Amino acid sequence: TVSTSMSQDKNSVLIRIQDNGVGMSEQVRQKIFDHLFTTKAVGKGTGLGLSIARQIVVEKHRGTLEVNSTPGLGAEFVITIPA
């Protein structure tokens, strides 16, 4: 599910991307934006995607990129960008 909204103070745009997958452990959640971190098998992923996404949101747009997840209940990424 993808949804967008304005913050209550109308100074930011929020983009929420939520899935209904298996979620992730706290150990994975803490490392998810680290450069070269991947949960995929060797040769199946580079671990660059979320690191680059965070860099674009934070450095280029002065926003935030957060992830909320509970194992068994899916994950939600929340992007906040100044309006």
- Kindly state whether residue 68 falls inside one of the protein's structural domains: yes
- The model's pLDDT over 14-25, given as tens digits with 9 standing for 90+, comes to 999 999 999 999
How many domains, the chain? Answer: 1
- Kindly state whether residue 13 falls inside one of the protein's structural domains: no
Instruction: Please state, in angstroms and rounded to a whole number, the distance separating the CA atoms of residues 80 and 17.
Output: 12
- Kindly state whether residue 4 falls inside one of the protein's structural domains: no
- The model's pLDDT over 24-51, given as tens digits with 9 standing for 90+, comes to 999 999 999 998 888 787 778 777 889 9
Identify the band that residue 8 occupies on the pLDDT scale cut at 50, 70 and 90: very high
**CATH number of the domain that residue 68 is part of:** 3.30.565.10
Whole domain around residue 28: which residue ranges?
20-82
